[in-house]
Chains A and B, each alone.
Chain A
């Protein structure tokens, strides 16, 4: 029972990070139709910018996070303007490959600047332990889950009630209709990339605190795919639930079944979902019979 509770908390914490990555992915896909393979690299950049600001320039963590947010927003908007806008109307393989190219470039740029060694991160999320149902649970994981929940809740409110959020939903629904009623689609595109950058910084900050900063952060980027396929590619509640399910699943399989099975289980589920219910739990169903 103790182990189960511990695993559940760990799994949910991993799931929270995955959900944030998936949220960034879904934001971009929903509004612009672009599949961003570089979401994990955005998290990597976010984590390393915070790391550099805190360690190299010894700034307070609030300042570091603020700097990382600015960098991530600039990066997101820059990528949209310089790389993806010229590719509007190109086949989907081109869009996929350009974000893969971006991912490789960002990953190796971080490696050139910061080296390959995992770095000790000056954690600022409290580390102590608490007792839940008789199990000792690290406090920082609970903070991580809470923080991710707050962020996801804030995004949900943003989409439901703010003017920009509604505009983004309108563009996602029908770009031409949105243009006709006077929504600037360019602005919405830039905004969704910027918001994806923001989620990546929050995700990167959590990873850095819970696991430490290393090139391994990018592995969360690839796990985004099982998460979003399970939850539905363009659904925000789907990203949350999918993140939690995949996070728990990886942790449970790793602990109870072992044998490296946790690295393949998410993809087996992915294929299964694709065969049975390709639009996931909450995705919008577009039926096309060819």
Chain B
């Protein structure tokens, strides 16, 4: 039996291709099949979960561009999601803009706001940057809560149903296709980004900022660009949330949300586009599964369903700790190891 020791590229075309081996195409086909089948077989509860996963995956990809690929820590994800959601929601609710245009505007506005709050990154790194973005989270949410005239303050912003050319997008089933479509686009965009010069520049800054500057990268410019690109994805996720749920409140964008997204990319795998998706699936399914378990066990262990939110948070915290201690490179790395194991079986190396 001949087992290849790795995947070798013998042509430039092969080197540039996103997928090389037959098994990669088979897996892609399987994933596509699963995506198509889900809405027909999932119960309403799990279809909602699937939609949440789709939106979270876009946001997580965005955050991973900034944190995983460029190495700039951001605790302001919740705030940026809020900017996207409110921009898009307000444009549709107050100005009657068609929702795709509003979403585009949301992407641009969030990118601009993200760049602004990325300015501290020009002087700060690591811990200091984390704390500065923590401040941006608090400032954005404070503005949302107190700018009554525009955002409706602590009340809720009701977004009218999304319509385009007389077609109404309503219900989980319809939105599923829209969200999956955007999710696939975002995944492709991010994957291709890191085959381009811009993406490689981001990685260079993460790996060694001084060395990057020496080879001619302007770190200031590219750090801000990374904030902009990342926030653009996050703005899209925020806008999708606004139109999908048709109601926007500030409580959805607190610091806990920032932490949730960071947990997604850590559990999924820092610096990996597919990892962001695995992380989003894991971190959204986990609380939903615990909730289902709580409902199922209501009569057996009443305390379980009574303490459900606390148990969800405890498990969430524990998962973060365990992943970081035992597999800091996340599910993407575990998946890679499984693939290697199968490919090389029965040999260990």
By Cβ-Cβ distance, the 10 closest A-B pairs, closest first, are A101-B320, A105-B317, A104-B317, A108-B313, A108-B314, A267-B135, A264-B142, A108-B310, A111-B310, A101-B321
The reply to whether B328 and A90 form a contact with Cβ atoms under 8 Å apart is: yes
User: Which chain A residue shows the least CB distance to B117?
Assistant: A271
Q: In the bound complex, what is the Cα–Cα distance between A94 and B68 (angstroms)?
A: 11
Query: Number of B interface residues, CB 8 Å?
Result: 46
Q: List 8 A-B contacts (CB under 8 A).
A: A87-B325, A93-B262, A98-B320, A105-B321, A108-B311, A259-B146, A271-B136, A274-B124
B55 lies within 8 A of chain A by Cβ: no
B25 lies within 8 A of chain A by Cβ: no
Instruction: Say which one of B44-52, B125-133, B196-204, B294-302 lies at the interface with A.
Output: B125-133
B-contact bits for A80-104, CB 8 A (1 contact / 0 none): 0011001100111110111011111
The reply to whether A274 and B210 form a contact with Cβ atoms under 8 Å apart is: no
Q: In the bound complex, what is the Cα–Cα distance between A109 and B315 (angstroms)?
A: 10
Interface of chain B residues 95 through 113 with chain A (CB within 8 A): none
Per a CB cutoff under 8 Å, which of A100, A112, A229, A259 touches B314? A112
The reply to whether A112 and B324 form a contact with Cβ atoms under 8 Å apart is: no
A268 lies within 8 A of chain B by Cβ: yes
Q: In the bound complex, what is the Cα–Cα distance between A101 and B146 (angstroms)?
A: 30
Interface of chain B residues 66 through 84 with chain A (CB within 8 A): 67, 71, 73
Per a CB cutoff under 8 Å, which of A111, A225, A260, A263 touches B131? A225
Q: How far is the CB of B78 from chain A (nearest CB, A)?
A: 13
Interface of chain B residues 251 through 278 with chain A (CB within 8 A): 255, 259, 262-263, 266, 270
Interface class of chain A by DSSP: helix
A68 lies within 8 A of chain B by Cβ: no
B-contact bits for A126-146, CB 8 A (1 contact / 0 none): 000000000000000000000
The reply to whether A275 and B314 form a contact with Cβ atoms under 8 Å apart is: no
Query: Number of A interface residues, CB 8 Å?
Result: 41
B-contact bits for A236-273, CB 8 A (1 contact / 0 none): 00000000000000000000000110011001101100
Residues of A close to B287: CB separation below 8 A: none
User: Which chain A residue shows the least CB distance to B154?
Assistant: A260
B316 lies within 8 A of chain A by Cβ: yes
The reply to whether B130 and A92 form a contact with Cβ atoms under 8 Å apart is: yes
> Provided the pairs A35-B127, A260-B145, A263-B142 are in contact, do residues A104 and B320 lie with their beta carbons within 8 angstroms?
yes
Per a CB cutoff under 8 Å, which of A109, A267, A278 touches B139? A267
User: Which chain A residue shows the least CB distance to B126?
Assistant: A92
Q: In the bound complex, what is the Cα–Cα distance between A188 and B74 (angstroms)?
A: 31
Residues of A close to B314: CB separation below 8 A: 104-105, 108-109, 112
Q: In the bound complex, what is the Cα–Cα distance between A187 and B258 (angstroms)?
A: 35
Given contacts A101-B317, A105-B317, 13 further A-B contacts (CB under 8 A): A90-B328, A92-B127, A97-B263, A98-B320, A100-B320, A104-B317, A106-B317, A108-B317, A111-B307, A260-B142, A274-B124, A274-B131, A290-B209
A30 lies within 8 A of chain B by Cβ: no
Residues of A close to B130: CB separation below 8 A: 35, 92-93, 96
Residues of A close to B328: CB separation below 8 A: 87, 90, 94
Q: How far is the CB of A274 from chain B (nearest CB, A)?
A: 5
The reply to whether B139 and A104 form a contact with Cβ atoms under 8 Å apart is: no
User: Which chain A residue shows the least CB distance to B316?
Assistant: A104
> Provided the pairs A270-B135, A275-B120 are in contact, do residues A96 and B73 lie with their beta carbons within 8 angstroms?
yes
Residues of A close to B255: CB separation below 8 A: 222
User: Which chain B residue shows the least CB distance to A84?
Assistant: B325
Residues of B close to A225: CB separation below 8 A: 131, 134-135
Q: In the bound complex, what is the Cα–Cα distance between A101 and B213 (angstroms)?
A: 34
The reply to whether B266 and A97 form a contact with Cβ atoms under 8 Å apart is: yes
The reply to whether A274 and B324 form a contact with Cβ atoms under 8 Å apart is: no
Residues of B close to A268: CB separation below 8 A: 135, 139
The reply to whether A274 and B132 form a contact with Cβ atoms under 8 Å apart is: yes
Residues of A close to B210: CB separation below 8 A: 290
User: Which chain A residue shows the least CB distance to B220?
Assistant: A290
Residues of B close to A98: CB separation below 8 A: 320-321, 324-325
Q: In the bound complex, what is the Cα–Cα distance between A258 and B128 (angstroms)?
A: 29
Q: How far is the CB of A112 from chain B (nearest CB, A)?
A: 5
Q: In the bound complex, what is the Cα–Cα distance between A244 and B20 (angstroms)?
A: 61
Q: In the bound complex, what is the Cα–Cα distance between A83 and B320 (angstroms)?
A: 11
Residues of A close to B321: CB separation below 8 A: 83, 98, 101-102, 105
The reply to whether A274 and B123 form a contact with Cβ atoms under 8 Å apart is: yes
B152 lies within 8 A of chain A by Cβ: no
Q: In the bound complex, what is the Cα–Cα distance between A198 and B131 (angstroms)?
A: 25
User: Which chain A residue shows the least CB distance to B258?
Assistant: A100
Residues of B close to A91: CB separation below 8 A: 71, 270
User: Which chain A residue shows the least CB distance to B206?
Assistant: A91
The reply to whether B123 and A87 form a contact with Cβ atoms under 8 Å apart is: no
Q: In the bound complex, what is the Cα–Cα distance between A107 and B310 (angstroms)?
A: 8
Residues of A close to B324: CB separation below 8 A: 87, 90, 94, 97-98, 101
Q: How far is the CB of A218 from chain B (nearest CB, A)?
A: 11
Q: In the bound complex, what is the Cα–Cα distance between A290 and B217 (angstroms)?
A: 11
The reply to whether A83 and B131 form a contact with Cβ atoms under 8 Å apart is: no
Residues of B close to A275: CB separation below 8 A: 120, 123
The reply to whether A270 and B132 form a contact with Cβ atoms under 8 Å apart is: yes
B138 lies within 8 A of chain A by Cβ: yes
Q: How far is the CB of B304 from chain A (nearest CB, A)?
A: 10
Q: How far is the CB of B311 from chain A (nearest CB, A)?
A: 7
User: Which chain A residue shows the least CB distance to B129?
Assistant: A274
Residues of A close to B263: CB separation below 8 A: 97, 101
B219 lies within 8 A of chain A by Cβ: yes
B18 lies within 8 A of chain A by Cβ: no
